[in-house]
Amino acid sequence: MYVAVRLKEDAMLSSVRRHRTIRSLSLALVAFAALLLPVTPAHATYGAPFTVWAEIYGNGGSTQLARLDGTLQFDDGNTKIYYNLELCRRSSFTGPQVKVYVNNTFVTSLYWSGGYSTAVCPSFYTATPLSAELTYGGTIYNVSLILVGSEFPNNVYTERTKRRDYDNPFN
Q: For 25-59, what is each residue's pLDDT tens digit?
A: 454 544 555 555 555 455 669 999 999 999 999 98
Are residues 151 and 61 in contact, defined by beta-carbon separation less than 8 angstroms? no
Distance CA 59, CA 64 (A): 9
Q: What is the mean pLDDT of residues 70-99?
A: 95
Threshold 0.75, pTM exceeds: no
CA distance 51 to 143: 13
Query: Ranked by mean pLDDT, which of 18-22, 41-45, 119-123 comes out on top?
Result: 119-123
pLDDT at 5: 47
